[in-house]
Structure 1
Amino acid sequence: MGFSGRSQPSFVKLGLTFTGYLCWILLLIGANSQKTDPEEVNALRAIKKSLIDPYHNLGSWNRGDPCTSRWAGISCYNTTLDDDYFHVREMSLLQMNLSGRLSPELVHLSYMKIMDFMWNNISGTIPKEIGNITSLELLLLNGNKLTGSLPDEIGYLHNLDRLQIDENKISGSIPKSLANLNNAKHFHMNNNSLSGQIPPELSKLPNLVHLLLDNNNLSGRLPPELSKMPNLMILQLDNNNFEGSTIPLSYGNISCLLKLLRNCSLQGPIPDWSNMPNIAFIDLSLNKLSGTIPAGVLSENMTTIDLSSNNLNGTIPASFSRLPLLQKLSLANNSLSGSVPSTIWRNRILNQSETLILDFQDNRLSIISGSLILPSNVTVSLRGNPICTRGNLIQFCGSYEEDFNEMFNLTRSNACPPESCPPPYEYAPASPVARCFCAAPLLVGYRLKSPGFTKFRPYFDKFEHYVSSALDLNIYQFHIDSVAWEKGPRLRMYLKIFPAYVNNSIHLFNGSEVLRIHGLFSGWRIHGNAVFGPFELLNFTLLEPYKDEFPSSSPFGISKGALAGIILGTVAGSVTLSAVAFLIFFRSHKRRHRADSKRRPSSRVSIRIDGVKDFTYGEMAVATNNFNSSSFVGQGGYGKVYKGILADGTVVAIKRAQEGSLQGEKEFLTEIELLSRLHHRNLVSLIGYCDEEGEQMLIYEFMSNGNLRDHLSGKFELVLF
């Protein structure tokens, strides 16, 4: 079949273009031949079979390869550039409404560093095989219905930083083998049914910071050896049964910033903690302690002292008057006598921004020494003492019951017009340069497990600075939406994290920034704080604008084989496309085509392609802030590439042809039709085009994968959720 000379150049051009793209696809397919380790793929399938997934949150586990097909909750990496396979680095299945059991096949994820099943309904026992995943750094199983004992094999996890099994139904004793975990910093085993004695061998752990064992069935003596732990900050043992045990005198030397030994059936004297410069919170209430309260000078960091419901006698030490940050002093239900020193509250007359609670009910106190002027921010209760038989001390003799169910909303009004932000956008907290701009926040459920204070308001600003600094964000991007005390006491809060204000654009986090912030929370990379103590992540909620950007499915960890394929693909593709461009340039009537494309004619050839939109020049100018240099991301032989944001919030890459690359209108639309038919997971999708105002542009989905130099240096990891 023959072709006329007039139609041959277009046909040749089309054929060469199609051949070039076909070669490019084949080379990319070869470059992407690397897959997940088959043993790990089989393990993931077995793990899924052992779980019950009523909401199909693991539906993506039925297709493709875990590390290249966006399996929910899975992130991957290469251990070395010589490795032929991807390996599962993280399994993050936080709050997915999963039930069922943990499969022993987890052992085959032998390169995994983070195992996160938090806040599900998983039952059964913890498989002992987990102890063979020696690469594991975070073992997060809290908030489930796990039973049985904690396997001795956990002691083999020499790289473990954090063990969280709290809020389950785990029983049995604490394995002595945990003393082998020299890298461990956090043992959170509270709210279970653990029994037996605390192993004194745990004192060998050089890096342990948090030891949380409250609300179990532990018994026996308190090991004095724990006082030798050099970095222990929080010792939380309340609501256990150490019947007949005393507080070892050596505990007076522990450098803990927080001690909770409430309701532990302890007896004997209170150690002298006057030599502890860092201690901030003491709760020894509901025990059987006797003797007098040590009179030594306590740390100026002290916020809370609760010695209520013991068998203490003697007087109230005057040293309690020298605690500037004190929020609560409870000595109720003891046998204290003598006078109440008014110096404890006198200094609050000058500082009325912070509250002070003094609960001295049901003792034998007979007089107040000094001034009877009570500041409005101080609550004193002496009910049940001889002093209240007098009729002129009404302000001191009322009852007091602390309510840890107090809730308060911290949403701030910024005087912006009502209902001007379309949901899910909302007014962001005012930045230094703009007010009332709409943005889509990230929503984070967050809980302080052992806060070193009784009242949060004095620490509100400090907490904002602490978290925003840890997240590397401006202070105005971080907002505490609500706060509520819970049993423990624990402090639950909901946080909103807003994108920064940038000109008049739509304010969204990009996908990489969402991943970064999520990783800081889920990887516990927010360093501990002496005042706020350990935290736990309750949820990380993504609003609709972020559904497509997170999680990412871009392969960041690449082996030499895959990298070589990409390099060969790049070279071959460049040669092929250069040849095509040369033939097009040689065979085309460049001057006529350039003149034709200066202005779109009224008899414009139109096409309709499903999924490909015809954009106006004005829309492209708005998307790129008039092609501002800040939107420029790269350049090739075709022209420049800009990052843009469409009116609906979609982030796109816009290829803007330079003058020498302009085609005739018919040829340009034919190329668009061809591109719209090309589909492969390694090719970005064509979203639309622009062909007016003497311009030709192709609009693709934006992929922020880093450049070739980043891949060569191994900076990136493959992150798949």
Structure 2
Amino acid sequence: MGRELLRLNLSGTLAPELGQLSRMKILDFMWNSIGGSIPKEVGNITSLELLLLNGNQLTGSLPEEIGFVPNLNRIQIDQNHISGSIPKSFANLNKTEHFHMNNNSLSGQIPPELSRLPSLVHLLLDNNNLSGYLPPELLQLPKLLIVQLDNNNFSGSSIPSSYGNITTLLKLSLRNCSLEGPALDASGIPQLGYLDISWNQLTGPIPSGKLASNITTIDLSHNRLNGSIPGSFSGLPNLQRLSMENNNLDGSVPSDVWRNIDFSGNRSLILDFHNNALTNLSNPLTPPANVTILLSGNPICTSQNQLNISQYCQSISVVVPGGSTNNNTLCPPCSTDLPHENILRSPIPCLCAIPLHVDYRLKSPGFWDFVPYEAEFQHYLSSGLSLSSYQLEVSTFMWEEGPRLKMNLKLFPNNTPLFNSGEVLRLRDMFTGWLITDSDIFGPYELIDFIPGWYENVLPRRTESSLSTGATVGIVIAAFAAAAILSSLVTLIILRRRSSQISKRRTAKRIQMKIDGVRDLTFEELSNCTSNFSDSALIGQGGYGKVYRGVLADGTGAAVKRTQQGSLQGSEEFFTEIELLSRLHHRNLVSLVGYCDEDNEQMLVYEYMPNGNLRDHLSAKAKEALSFPMRLRIALGSSRGILYLHTEADPPIYHRDIKSSNILLDSKFVAKVSDFGLSRLAPLPAMEGVAPGHVSTVVKGTPGYLDPEYFLTHNLTDKSDVYSLGVVFLELLTGMQPISHGKNLVREVVAANQSGMILSVVDTRMGPCPWECVERFAALGLRCCRDETDARPSMVEVVRELETIWQMTPETDSVPLESESRCPWTPGRTGTQLSSSSAGGLMMAYQYMSSSDASGSNLLSGVVRSTNPR
């Protein structure tokens, strides 16, 4: 028995009485707006096989009782707001194959006990707040096919070498997990098709073992890997993308990676090696036309000895392919009295029929480019649905963050204009009952919506009148008999809608709107959690309004940003901003938790940062001073967050208001960049890690942090953020404010350096620390604050330099005062000037403004339109 309640626009909470449905096998509330916590009584549904709650507003922790449901095969609780740890009791789920809990707020360690799940096939925990170490015990799972843990914080953990021996594995994705240590040797995984360990802090050489011939995607980019590129990447017949950009790789560019690849059928290959230290060619590059090679940012591109490689050294666009089916046909148009369409591949020429539409998502595909696999996908899914291959068309497809692949499918009747009612119901039940076998290459799927359209009248009508009433309703039906309860399962939703709240909603579009991963909160909820916006809860104030500390009903700490009347946006503009912010997922960016838009109230709700902002910790009034290692870690974390905005956000974003008060610190002093109120969408980057072009815009930002060229030309670029971040670095170095008592921080540090007195401005409260680290950090800050845009480093270079300095710094978070033997300098010592090597030749070219030159120009960060070098 079961009930499919997909996309009914249900709100309210799940009633504990659901636990009385002991014979229920499928519980499907996907893609509604159900809030509250998952009742522990769900653990009493002993016959339950499919628990499908993804795409709601659920909060609270996972009930331990779920771990004692003996027949549970699939847990889909992804894309909610579930917090807390994964219960160890889940180790009892002996029949569970699918463990989908991605895109939540789960924390703590992945329980090693999950290694006792004998049936587990898919482990999807990406986009959470998981930490600790990666359990090596996953090796013990006998059927494991997919491990997807991207965008978590396993700081200090390495990739267990045992993962290289999970012989069943098809996909391993550990992107942006703060992992350290060596890269994984995956040559012992015979069927591996997809490997992504990018955006970590992996070091050492790339393992030279030969990967499986199935492999389509290898992404080792954005690490600190060194050494040469092994020849073992050549001859992989299914390879679509090999990404090694932004490492420290040297030696030769491989010249035959494309060997053994058949480029028929729209096959292509991307080889991305940009921003490394590659110096030469092992052989001349003569790739097929379908191969793209990216080499910019390597010494080989500036070498006089290398000819005929200029086309590989240019910044070109690399876009993940998306698109739609070619609908060109020589057939006459179908009749317009009904929604008929041509069946393009029908054996009956020019047959018109009315299709069903299905919104469908591949949650963890094993490829980078769908086009070569489209025909195989159509055959796979049509076979799974017991249809002929011509009856299924992929109308459109689009890559989403994850990466996940969303598509719209058309299902056509078999050589007739119309489906009969039984066939419509059969197809719906195939999708909603998860009766289609998962594919190795296409991975787990997700039904987003089954759209009957013209066939709506042949489906059983679903009573919704009790769900649309405006008054406060608390309907709890006792479970007299399973059959009776199943016939009215919808009424087991406890509605929390209040007529007064509904009347406040601006439009019908507003009521139905739902943004993945962001909670739609009411004014009453936010008023309650902030003690009616009391002054005691006030933690910040600016031109936009006020920020209050609060605790949501599920215990989540929150910072509520309440916009004042003069700053309200239009509803469409407000939701566009929310939708954009909801797509930003990085451990060094403050996460958007929810929003409120009622009458004349607009509020954004962010995760609460208990250690406040960086500016307060640099103030002379701070109770405890930050040590140099802590300051360096804050600089590195902030830079990684900004680099993500520039190169990984979709679309890319320029922050435009980076300052120390917008860098917040969590309970462990992890830096998180906040306040995107002034941010602007950037043009698409030329390629990952390479700066986009400029945006012409009205100048906005904070005095003391403004890029001088941006101020003068109104051209906002990624280097505008670099300048502002450089000012923050100088704040970290000196403890001083950007503008204070008529002094400009950038000018003061430049003057001190030019006069050989750089140590006179270093904050003595940091305690002793290695001079070489301080010297390189100061040089980096000054390079970022160069007047000329082109003279500033890119964010990739900033992050790389900070990582180098971090490796040189003692590993402890604070340096004891008695350990002066580590630090061959004394704070306050004079007569020291940054060397030209550490400052990158900065002293010879920097145009320093004297006080008279810059008088009255503090709002321009101490820079005037035209100057002469001293």
Q: TM-score range by the shorter chain?
A: 0.5 to 0.7
Deviation per residue, 1:347-395 (Å, 9 max, x gap): 5586583110011011110112223223221111111101000464211
1:439-479 deviations in Å (ceiling 9; x for gaps): 11111000001110000011011101100111111111111
Residue of structure 1 equivalent to 2:27:
115
What residue is the counterpart of 1:437 in the other structure? 351
Which residue of the partner structure matches residue 494 of structure 1? 408
Q: Structure 1: how far apart are the matches of 2:2 and 2:265?
A: 49
| Code of the aligned partner of 2:401 | K
Q: For the structure 1 residues 281 and 400, does the alpha-carbon distance in structure 2 shift closer, same or farther, using more than 3 Å as the test?
A: farther
Letter in 1 for 2:453: L
Q: Which residue of 1 aligns with 2:541?
A: none
Q: 1:155 to 1:350 in 2, by over 3 A?
A: closer
What whole-Å deviation, never above 9, does each CA across 1:249-273 have from its counterpart, x for those lacking one? Answer: 1111112100110000111112321
Q: Which amino acid aligns with 1:550?
A: L
RMSD, matched Cα: 1.7
In structure 2, distance between residues paired with 1:120 and 1:518: 18
The TM-score, its normalising length taken from structure 1, stands at 0.62
Q: Distance in 1 between matches of 2:234 and 2:408?
A: 36
Equivalences for residues 403-552 of structure 1 within 5 A: 403-404=319-320, 406-432=321-347, 434-502=348-416, 507-544=417-454, 546-551=455-460
1:281 is matched with which residue: 194, 201, 205? 194
SS at match of 1:250: helix
Alignment of 1:209-608 (within 5 A): 209-254=121-166, 255-345=168-258, 347=260, 351=264, 353-390=266-303, 392-400=308-316, 402-404=318-320, 406-432=321-347, 434-502=348-416, 507-544=417-454, 546-551=455-460
Q: Which amino acid aligns with 1:340?
A: V
CA contact (8 A) 1:511 1:552 kept: no
| TM-aligned CA distance change 1:443 to 1:257, over 3 Å | same
Shift of 1:422: 3.0
With over 3 angstroms needed to count, the CA separation of the structure-2 counterparts of 1:329 and 1:107, relative to structure 1, is same
Aligned counterpart for 1:153 among listed residues 51, 55, 65: 65
Return the alpha-carbon distance in structure 1 between the equivalents of residues 200 and 318 of structure 2. 19
The change in CA–CA distance for 1:518 and 1:350 in structure 2 (over 3 A counts) is: closer
Which secondary structure state, in structure 2, belongs to the residue aligned with residue 515 of structure 1? helix
Q: Do the aligned residues in 2 keep the contact of 1:238 with 1:264 (CA within 8 Å)?
A: yes
Do the aligned residues in 2 keep the contact of 1:511 with 1:551 (CA within 8 Å)?
no
The 1:364–1:352 alpha-carbon spacing in structure 2 relative to 1, beyond 3 Å, is: farther
User: Quick check: 2:235–2:261 contact (8 Å CA) kept in 1?
Assistant: no
- What is the letter of the counterpart of residue 285 of structure 2? L
Task: Give secondary structure in 2 for the equivalent of 1:268.
Answer: strand
Specify the SS of the correspondent of 2:67.
Answer: helix
Kept in 1, the 8 Å contact 2:340–2:353? The answer is: yes
1:485 deviates by 0.6
Conservation of the 8 A alpha-carbon contact between 1:421 and 1:427: no
Letter of the aligned partner of 1:299 in structure 2? A
C-alpha contact 1:352 1:377 (8 A) present in aligned 2 = no
Give 1:401 shift. Answer: 5.2
* Cα shift at 1:346: 5.0
Q: Tell me, in whole angstroms, the C-alpha distance in 1 between the residues paired with 2:23 and 2:253.
A: 62
Displacement of 1:527 in angstroms is 0.7
Question: Distance in 2 between the 1:466 and 1:510 partners?
Answer: 23
In the aligned structure 1, how far is the partner of 2:146 from the partner of 2:291?
Answer: 28
Q: For the residues of structure 1 that align with 2:160 and 2:140, how far apart are their CA atoms?
A: 12
Change (3 A) 1:352 1:172: same
Offset from partner CA, 1:288-314 (integer Å, 9 cap, x none): 111111111110000000000111111
Mean Cα displacement is larger for which, 454-463 or 416-425?
Answer: 416-425
Conservation of the 8 A alpha-carbon contact between 2:196 and 2:220: yes
The 3-state SS of whatever aligns with 1:399 is: coil
Distance 2:238 2:160 in 1: 27
> Normalising by structure 2, what TM-score?
0.52
Q: CA deviation at 1:430?
A: 3.3
Distance 1:472 1:349, change over 3 A: closer
After superposition, the Cα gap between the structure-2 partners of 1:350 and 1:537, relative to the gap in structure 1 and judged at 3 Å, is closer
What residue in structure 2 maps to residue 166 of structure 1? Answer: 78
Q: Does the 8 Å CA contact 1:186/1:209 hold for their aligned counterparts?
A: yes
Shift of 1:400: 4.5
Determine what percentage of the aligned residue pairs are the same residue: 58
Judged with a 3 Å threshold, the aligned counterparts in structure 2 of structure 1 residues 422 and 416 are, in CA distance, closer, same or farther, namely farther
Equivalents in 1 of 2:77, 2:51: separation in Å? 8
SS at match of 1:147: coil
CA distance in 2, matches of 1:460, 1:426: 21
- 1:221-253 deviations in whole A, cap 9, x for unaligned? 111101110111000001000000011111111
Shift of 1:277: 1.2
CA distance in 1, matches of 2:32, 2:355: 25
Q: Conserved in 2, the CA contact under 8 Å of 1:358 and 1:380?
A: yes
- The code of the aligned residue for 1:491 comes to L
Paired letter, 2:219 = D
Counterpart secondary structure, 2:78: coil
AA in 2 matched with 1:407: G
Q: CA deviation at 1:483?
A: 0.6
**Pair 1:445–1:552, CA change in 2 (3 A):** same
Task: Please say if residues 348 and 375 of structure 1, whose CA atoms lie closer than 8 Å, have aligned partners that are also in contact.
Answer: no
SS of residue matched to 1:282: strand
**Conserved? CA contact 2:240–2:268, under 8 Å:** yes
Quickly say closer, same or farther: Cα 1:350–1:370, change in 2 above 3 A: farther
Contact 1:515 1:551 (C-alpha < 8 Å) held by counterparts = no
Distance in 1, matches of 2:342 and 2:457, equals 22
- Cα gap change, 1:411 to 1:539, in 2 (>3 Å): farther
Partner of 2:658: none
Rounded to whole Å, the distance in 1 between the matches of 2:70 and 2:337 is 50
